[in-house]
Copies of this chain bind each other. A is one copy, B any other.
Amino acid sequence: MSITSPLPGRAGSVDFVDGYTRLFGIVGHPIRQVRSPQTVTFELRRRGINAILLPLHVLPEDFDSVFPPLLKLANLDGLVVTVPHKTAVPRHLDGIGPLGKFSGSVSILARTSDNCWVGEMFDGTGCVQALQKHGIGLTGQRILLLGAGGAGAAIAAALARTQPASLHVKEPDNGRRNRLRARLTGAFPALVLPDGMPQLDEIDVLINASPVGMLDADRMPIEVDRIPAHVAVLDAIMDPEETRLLHLAKACGCRTVPGRDMLDSQIVSAVDFMMATRTLQLGEVAYPT
């Protein structure tokens, strides 16, 4: 932060915010753990845009009364949505992208030039991009996905787009698992969705989208004590950065991708989407593919 000392008799001033600053926000509860304020603001500034992404702490019980009025702030250009509000957003939007529709949740909102608000779910795309950035191929590969909740559904849809050889979904809640499998089959008829649990040496990529291991470095989302070295492992969990699953994978010589890389990968494409949408009318919005 740079601050300028005041002239005699004059108020001092900072150089990172003024009346022209465009606003972006991240809406969540709790809010202190978020990193978008630092990282998305960096990306906006890197592009020469006078803008800040702020933490906007909205309590769950206030969401439906606070969120729609917030969208009326005339200098607000985009929002990131995080826990627990992702599934509450779609009902307040004028348009929603295909992954948002599929997962019933939205992580990035953008304002159109005709002052409508549209959104899309970027969490799955972030997972795919993080794997690609680590040189881990998905097309033609055999993937095992742990977890069929909100994050799992978004990741499954993004994975399906990459045309893997097969996608196993493991989820302790059978009803949830079957619902996701049915929706995947409907949306991606060519996707191979084997039933049952594979051996780890029958898969190429292992992705944890379940909460098991979050804030608990002792728990494992899958009961194994060895992972074949050819399996690439991504854990969507942010905290701890090295989960027990990733620790084991590293020890076994696997390539590993931490959850934070998933989030970092979304930043550029989310800012691309928000800035491009600002110049388009509702009917012209292009969702990332």
Taking Cβ atoms with an 8 Å cutoff, the residues of A that contact B are: 1-4, 6, 9-21, 23, 29, 31-35, 37-39, 41-43, 45-46, 52-59, 62, 65-66, 69-70, 72-75, 133, 260-261, 263-264, 267
A165 to chain B minimum Cβ distance, whole angstroms, is 27
Sorted from nearest, which 8 A-B pairs have the closest CB atoms?
A13-B38, A57-B74, A11-B39, A69-B69, A57-B75, A1-B16, A12-B42, A11-B264
Q: Name 10 A/B residue pairs within 8 A (Cβ), A-sorted.
A: A1-B45, A9-B264, A11-B264, A11-B267, A12-B46, A14-B38, A18-B38, A21-B55, A55-B75, A69-B70
- List residues of chain B with CB within 8 A of the CB of A59: 72, 74
Q: How far is the CA of A43 from the CA of B65 in the complex (A)?
A: 32
Q: How far is the CA of A59 from the CA of B286 in the complex (A)?
A: 28
A24 to chain B minimum Cβ distance, whole angstroms, is 10
- List residues of chain B with CB within 8 A of the CB of A1: 1-2, 15-16, 45
For A59, the closest partner residue in chain B by CB is B74
For A71, the closest partner residue in chain B by CB is B66
When the two chains form the complex, which single residue of B14, B57, B133 contacts A9, counting CB atoms closer than 8 Å?
A: B133
For A34, the closest partner residue in chain B by CB is B19
| Extra A-B contacts (18), CB below 8 Å, given A19-B32, A19-B34 | A1-B15, A3-B42, A11-B263, A11-B264, A12-B46, A13-B35, A13-B42, A14-B45, A17-B52, A17-B55, A18-B34, A18-B35, A18-B38, A19-B55, A23-B55, A59-B72, A66-B70, A66-B73
A2 to chain B minimum Cβ distance, whole angstroms, is 6
- List residues of chain B with CB within 8 A of the CB of A14: 16, 37-38, 41-42, 45
When the two chains form the complex, which single residue of B4, B9, B133 contacts A261, counting CB atoms closer than 8 Å?
A: B9
- List residues of chain B with CB within 8 A of the CB of A16: 1, 14, 16
- List residues of chain B with CB within 8 A of the CB of A6: 42
- List residues of chain B with CB within 8 A of the CB of A56: 23, 73, 75
Most chain B CB inside 10 Å of its own CB: which residue of A2, A32, A54, A56: A54
Cβ–Cβ contact A17 & B69, under 8 A: no
Most chain B CB inside 10 Å of its own CB: which residue of A9, A43, A73, A264: A73
Cβ–Cβ contact B52 & A54, under 8 A: yes
Q: How far is the CA of A260 from the CA of B6 in the complex (A)?
A: 13
Q: How far is the CA of A21 from the CA of B14 in the complex (A)?
A: 15
- List residues of chain B with CB within 8 A of the CB of A4: 42
Q: How far is the CA of A55 from the CA of B18 in the complex (A)?
A: 7
